[in-house]
Amino acid sequence: MSLLLKNLRLISPGLDLPGAAVLVESGLIAKVFAAGESLPSVANEFDAGGRMLMPGFIDIHCHGGMGYEATSEEPKAISTICEGKIRDGVTSLCPTTLTLSEERLAESLQHIEAYRLSPSACKIAGTHLEGPYINPECAGAQNPAYLRRADIDEVLRLHATSPVSMVTYAIEMPGSLEFTAELCRAGIVPSCGHSNATYAQFKEGMQQGLKCLTHFCNQMTKLHHREIGLVGAGFYEDEVAIEIICDKIHLCPDMVKLIFKFKPIDKILLITDAMEATGLPDGDYQLGGLAVVVADGAARLTSNGALAGSTLQMNMALKNAYELSGKPLCELVQTSSWNQARMLGLKKLGKIETGYIADLILLDEDFQVKHVFIDGVQKF
């Protein structure tokens, strides 16, 4: 079935086209029309009312939302989370696990796989394992009771249950260099986080294929004039991608500005790091069994006040980045989908171009998501 989206402002990497139109056929983008071009006559037309059309967001780091975690024992948790994510414009998601036992992780991936094979809302791009192979000194809101040494066999067992796209681990821990190379051989993205690594240790990891830093600046070695650490590595190494939680809490506005001033735009990945309270009021929640209180949208462990994920939504992450960075949207839009698609090897996603999958979102001028199309079908 054909669908013509017209009267829109098309924003895609390198493109900002007011008055554009997009023809969708059989779930793919068949043609992009600039303002003034003759449009085909199709039975199904959608007037965007001048709103912004962007590639659907790809959130590669999200623990939950709408009262559920990706590691919940409830089978309906993943579908509920995905239904919530579509409201903030996410069309592809990497459900992100926590530091738990292998038994719990395996059960979680069984639920994720059941949904992945028959999605009702956003798609699953693969699971992101955050932990359990992290540094105890940088555990943050991860449960220290389940920390363990990097184990490629455990990852491959989980990968056989449902595809694993990324693993976050500490590169300085024993066995992690070999682990990095083995992840790369398996086609899984290695990302360093919850780590106390030196810059030299990170460089060793890069030589084995390490290519990303998880929630940049949070739970990693700080920049110091005698040891630049992981924060320094993120700035200095142009080829390294960095996840950023652009909620003005995990990173202050000045740090966001600094990142966008010095880091190549094609290596910045907006994420939410969302936890179960996302989309719900402030109150008492939990993260991986640890008590959390959410006040003014900030989630913190009840025990020590450490940040425990976020309640950020992807559309607000992009809005914050736009307001703080001074970058045009045709550049910033890379950070919400295209960069993620390239890093994960997701083909034909992240751009609005002929032949690409019609995962599209319409936003108003305040970045509120008004409509979501997945494979050319309106889902919201």
- Once rounded to an integer, what is the mean pLDDT over residues 71-76? 94
- Both 370 and 279 in a single domain? no
Q: Using 50, 70 and 90 to split pLDDT, how confident is the model at 327?
A: very high
Domain that includes residue 132, residue range: 57-344
- Both 97 and 145 in a single domain? yes
Residue 137 has pLDDT above 90, yes or no: yes
Going from the C-alpha of 357 to that of each of 11, 175, 221, 249, 360, the distances in angstroms are 15, 39, 39, 34, 9
Residue 179 has pLDDT above 90, yes or no: yes
- Both 27 and 170 in a single domain? no
- Both 260 and 333 in a single domain? yes
How would you classify the pairing of strands 268-271 and 377-378?
Answer: unpaired
- Both 37 and 115 in a single domain? no
- Once rounded to an integer, what is the mean pLDDT over residues 14-18? 98
- Both 236 and 304 in a single domain? yes
Q: For residue 371, give the CATH number of its domain.
A: 2.30.40.10
Counted domains in the chain? 2
Q: What is the pLDDT of residue 65?
A: 98
- Both 48 and 64 in a single domain? no
Q: What is the pLDDT of residue 170?
A: 98
- Both 160 and 43 in a single domain? no
Residue 57 has pLDDT above 90, yes or no: yes
Which positions ≥6 away from 109 have C-beta within 8 Å? Answer: 97, 127, 158, 161, 162, 164
Q: Is the pTM of this model over 0.85?
A: yes
Alpha helix stretches (DSSP H) within the chain: 77-85, 102-117, 152-161, 176-185, 199-207, 229-236, 253-262, 314-325, 329-332, 338-344
- Both 84 and 222 in a single domain? yes
Catalytic residue among 273, 296, 359, 364: 273
Interval 202-245: pLDDT, tens: 999 999 999 999 999 999 999 999 999 999 999 999 999 999 99
- Both 234 and 117 in a single domain? yes
- In this structure, the dihedral spanned by the alpha carbons of residues 61, 159, 338 and 237, taken in order and rounded to 10 degrees, is 80
Q: What is the pLDDT of residue 1?
A: 80
Q: What is the pLDDT of residue 7?
A: 98
- Both 66 and 13 in a single domain? no
Residue 139 and residue 99 in contact, taking contact as beta carbons nearer than 8 Å: yes
Residue 93 has pLDDT above 90, yes or no: yes
Interval 233-284: pLDDT, tens: 999 999 999 999 999 999 999 999 999 999 999 999 999 999 999 999 999 9
- Both 197 and 50 in a single domain? no
Instruction: Note if 151 is an active site residue.
Output: no
Q: For residue 76, give the CATH number of its domain.
A: 3.20.20.140
